[in-house]
Amino acid sequence: MTGAPVPPPDAPVAGQGDAKGTSPGPTALRPARPRWRETLGLLARNPTAAVASLVLVGIVLMAIFDETLAPQGPSEVSVQDRLQSPSWAHPFGTDDLGRDILSRVILGAGVSLRVGFLAVGIALVIGTLIGLLAGFYGRWVDDVLMRVMDMLFAFPAVLLAIAVLAVRGPGSGNTALAIGIVYIPIFARVTRASVLGVREEVYVRASRSVGASDFRLLTRHVLPNAAPPIIVQTSISLAFAVLAEAALSFLGLGTQPPNPSWGLMLAEGRGFIDIAWWLAFFPGMAIFLTVLCFNLLGDGLRDVLDPRQRTLMAGGGR
Amino acid sequence: MSGEVLVSARGVEVHFPTGGRGFRTAQAGVLRAVDGVDLDIYRGETLGLVGESGCGKSTLGNALLRLVPTTGGSIAFDGTDITGLQGRRIKELRRRAGMVFQDPFASLDPRRTVAQTVSEPLEVHGLRKGRDKAARVAELLELVGLDANVAGRYPHEFSGGQRQRVGIARALAGEPDFLVCDEAIASLDVSVQAQVLNLLRRLQRQLGLTLLFISHDLSAVRHISDRIAVMYLGRVVEIGPAEAVGTDPQMPYTQALLSAVPLPHPKLERERKRVVLTGDVPSPAAVPSGCRFRTRCPYAFEPCDDVDPALQPVGAPGQQAACHLHGVVGTPATTPDGVTATP
C-alpha cells in the first residue's frame, strides 16, 4: 500500500565467511566439544594451574587410598621410638608418643579434605541459592535475605563456629557444619553480585519474551552465566576451609584426638617445637601445599572461565 | 493487509517512579515514558514507530508485549485484554507475540549454542521434541538465511548480522502472529542493515506477520512500513499511511523529523526548506501542559498552552495528527500535574 519502490527480495546471504566451514553435522543440538572439556583443555595450558590441579589430584588420591599408603596405623604407639627425627624408617619422624608422622599426615588428609569439601558444599548450595534469589528478585526478597546474611557475616567466624560446636559437640561433621555456616554469606554475596549483573542482560529479557519461566531463566541462563565467580570462590573457600579446620582443631574444637588431622597435629606439635621441629613442620607443609594449590587453581579458573577471554586463549582456532 | 485489528492500545500509560524504591524513600516523582497512547495495529501490516531516543517508543513496544507493566489504559491482543493476564494465558501471549532486540551481541546467551537459543520457545511451549525439534531449528535457520549446520555454534563465532538472524529465528520459533522489532537494525553495519531489513520484509510477507518496526531511522521505516506512527514525549502525535506521513506530514514535529533526513540529491538538498527545532526534548518527568511539543514548536499559538491536542483526521485518508493548527481539538488542561515550561 505504500508507493515506495519495492526492493529486490533479499538473497540468502548468510553462510558467508565464518558461518561455514567445520560443523558438527546438520542437526546437532549440542556443541561439538562439551564446554567442560574445553575448560579442562585451557586449564592445562596454564602451567601453574595445571601443576596445582595435579598436586590436588595426588592429595585426593592419597586421602582415598590412605590405609594402603600409610606405613603404620595412626595410633600405633611405640614409646621407645618417641620423638625420633626424620630417618629412613620414619621419613617424617615420630611424635611424642612414637607415632609415625608420615602415616598420620597421610591419614589426616582424608579428615582435612572431608571437612573442607563438606563445609564448602554446605556453603555453596545454601549460599548460592540465597544469592540467586536475592539478586534475581531484588526488592524485599533481597532486603530480607541479605540483611540476614549481613548479620551472619558480622559475627566473628571463629566465635560462630565455637557456638555451633558448643551446641552440637566437637567432631569432624560438626566442624564442617560450623565452617559451612560461616561461609554461607560469602557465597550468597558473590552469587548475588554476579546475578545482579546477569539479570539485566538482554538475553535474559529475550528468554522472558519467548515465555520462559523464572525457574528456567534462573537455571538455564542466570546461574550458568553467573557461575564463574562462584566456581572461583569455591576453590578459594576450599583453601580457607582446610585452614579453618586446622585452626578449630588447633583450638581443640575440631577433630578430636587420637584422630589425625593436620590442624590437630600442628597443635600437638607446638609444645615440642624447640626440640622436635618435625612434629609441626610436616602437617604444616601439608596444609600449606593444599591451600596453595586450591588458591592457584582458583586463579587459573578465574582466567579460563571468562567466555570472551576463552576465545582469545584458544587462539580463535576451533 | 486486512481491516482486522490485531493489537489495540487505548490510553496506554507506562509511568516509572523516580527517586527511592520501596518503603525506604518517599516517591519523588513520575517519569511518563508512555503517556496516553492510542494505537491500532492491523493484522498483516507493518507499522513503523519513529521518534527521538527517549520518546518512549521502546517502552511502548515492550508494554504491548507485557514485558513492561502498564500503569494505565488497556491493551487488547486479538480481542483479549492482556493487561491483567496471568500464568498460562500470558505464556500463550509470549508464544503469539515475539520480539527482536536491538543489540544482537547482547540478546543471545553467550553460553548457549544457536540451536539451544532458537529451540528455547519450542521447549518452553512444548511445541517440538527430539528429532522434530532439531528439524524445526534447521528449518528456522534456513528461513532466516543461515546455514542449518551452524546450529552447534556459539554466538561469539558470528558477525552482528548473523547474530541478528539468530535472534529473528528465535522470535519466529513459536509461530507468532505479531513481532516487535525494537531498533532491530540500529546496531548493525549499514551494509548489513539493508539485508536484515529486507529479510524482515520478506518474512513479514511470507509468514503473514504483523510487524511493529521501532526505529529512529526514518528512511528505514519508510522503506519497510505500510503505516508510520510518530511518537513525541510518550504520545503518538501523528499516524498515517507511510507515503502520506513521509511526504506530507501534518504535524510540525514530523515535518522537522523529515527535514532532518538527508536527501540523496545535492540540488534538492540545497533547495529544500529545513525545519530546525530549537532547544531540547523536555524531560518525560516534567511534561509541558497543553501540547507537549509547544516548547519547541515554531508555530505554537495560544491554545497550545492549555489544550492537550487529540489525534484528528487531516491530510490523506487514514492520516491523523495531534495539532491545533488543524483546529483545536483535545482536552483542556486542568493542570493536575502539568508542569508549565516556557520556551
**Can you say whether the dihedral through the CA atoms of A156, A160, A165, A166 is positive or negative?**
positive
| Residue linked to cell 591419614 | A107
Verify whether the Cβ–Cβ distance B156 to A15 is below 8 Å. Answer: no
Test A9 with B154 for CB contact under 8 angstroms. Answer: no
What percentage of chain B carries pLDDT values higher than 70?
A: 93
pLDDT band of residue A127 (cuts 50, 70, 90) is very high
Q: Which residues pair with B339 in a beta bridge?
A: B288
Scored b (16 or more CB within 10 A) or e, B172-199 reads: bbbebbbbbbbbbbebbeeebbbbbbbb
Query: A24 preceded by cis ω (within 30°)?
Result: no
**CB under 8 Å to B262, separation ≥6 — which residues?**
B269
Q: What whole-number distance in Å separates Cα of residue B340 and Cα of residue B343?
A: 10
Look at the block and give the residue holding cell 597435629: A265
Residue of B nearest to A30 (CA): B152
**Cβ A9–B223 below 8 Å, yes or no?**
no
C-alpha cell at A81: 621410638
CA separation for the pair B211, B99 (Å, rounded) = 10
Around Cβ A184, how many Cβ atoms within 10 Å?
Answer: 23
Which amino acid, A104? R
Q: What is the ipTM of this complex?
A: 0.81
Cβ atoms of residues B73 and B81 within 8 Å: no
Please work out, in degrees rounded to the nearest 5, the angle formed at the alpha carbon of residue B282 by the alpha carbons of B281 and B287. Answer: 135
Question: In whole angstroms, what separates CA A68 from the centre of its chain?
Answer: 27
Distance (Å, whole) CA B329 – CA B310: 6
The DSSP H or E segment spanning B32 is strand B29-42
- Which of A31, A212, A213 is nearest residue B113 as measured by Cβ atoms? A31
Question: Which grid coordinates belong to A295?
Answer: 588458591
Distance from CA of B252 to the nearest CA of A (A): 22
Set of chain B residues whose Cβ sits within 8 Å of the Cβ of A29 = 113, 115-116, 119, 133-134, 137, 151-152
- Of A10, A31, A63, the residue nearest B115 (C-alpha): A31
Mutate to test the interface with A, among B147, B165, B196, B206 (most CBs of A within 10 A): B147
pLDDT value, residue A129: 94
Query: Average per-residue pLDDT in chain A?
Result: 78
| Confidence at residue A19, expressed as pLDDT on a 0 to 100 scale | 38
Is B31 a residue whose pLDDT tops 60? yes
Give the mean pLDDT of B223-250: 88
> What crossing angle do the helices spanning A101-137 and A47-64 adopt, rounded to 10°?
120
Q: What percent of chain A has a predicted confidence (pLDDT) above 90?
A: 14
Domains and CATH numbers, chain B: 5-20+31-331 (3.40.50.300)
Q: CA-CA distance, A297 to A318, in Å (whole number)?
A: 25
| Mean pLDDT calculated for residue range B93-118 | 88
* d(CA A137, nearest CA chain B) in Å: 13
Q: Which of A255-269, A302-316, B53-67, B284-298 has the lowest mean pLDDT?
A: A302-316
A222: which chain B residues are within 8 Å (Cβ-Cβ)? none
| Count of residues making up chain A | 318
> How many whole angstroms separate alpha carbon A177 and alpha carbon A173?
6
In the predicted structure, residue A258 carries a pLDDT above the cut 50: yes
CA distance A29 to chain B (A): 5
Is the CB of B261 inside 8 Å of chain A's CB atoms?
A: no
* Amino acid B99: pLDDT: 92
H or E, element range at B213: strand B210-214
* Chain B residues with beta carbon closer than 8 angstroms to that of A210: 94-95, 98, 120-121, 124, 170-171, 173-174
CB B198 to CB A139 under 8 A? no
Of B113, B121, B158, the CB nearest to A210: B121
* Least confident residue range of A249-263, B159-173, B211-225: A249-263
d(CA B155, CA B166): 9
Beta carbons of A3 and B202 less than 8 Å apart: no
Chain B nearest-CA distance from A203, in A, is 4
Please name the member of B111, B125, B162 whose beta carbon is closest to the beta carbon of A307: B111
* Closest CA–CA distance from residue A36 to any residue of chain B (Å): 12
Is A4–B157 a contact, with Cβ atoms under 8 angstroms apart? no
**Distance (Å, whole) CA B209 – CA B1:** 10
Distance CA A311, CA B218 (A): 38
Give the DSSP letter of residue B79: T
> Nearest 5°: phi and psi at B301?
-135, -175
B110 part of contact set with chain A, CB < 8 Å: yes
Q: What tens digit of pLDDT does each residue of A29-65 get?
A: 445 555 677 777 777 778 888 888 899 898 888 888 8
Task: Please give the Cα distance from B281 to B64 (Å, whole number).
Answer: 24
Q: Is B317 helix (H, G, I), strand (E, B) or coil?
A: coil
pLDDT of B227 reads: 92
Nearest to A32 among B99, B152, B194 (CB): B152
Instruction: Report pTM.
Output: 0.77
Using CA atoms, how far residue B307 sits from A11, A19, B15, B332, in Å, is 51, 57, 21, 4
Instruction: Tell which residue, B327, B231, B334, B242, has the closest CA to residue B290.
Output: B334
Share of chain A above pLDDT 70, in %: 83
A83-97, A118-132, A174-188, B156-170: the lowest-pLDDT one: A83-97
**C-alpha cell, A204:** 535474559
Are B290 and B304 in contact, with CB atoms under 8 Å apart?
Answer: yes
CB-based contact, B64 to chain A, within 8 Å = no
Taking an 8 Å cut-off on Cβ atoms, the answer to whether B148 and A10 are in contact is no
**Rounded-to-integer distance, Cα A279 and Cα A266, Å:** 7
Q: Which of A216 and B87 is assigned the larger pLDDT?
A: A216
Q: Please give the domain boundaries of chain A with CATH numbers for all domains.
A: 35-69+81-313 (1.10.3720.10)
Sorted by sequence, the CB contacts under 8 Å of residue A215 that are 6+ apart come out as: none
Q: What share of chain A is helix, strand, coil (3-state, %, to 5)?
A: 70, 0, 30
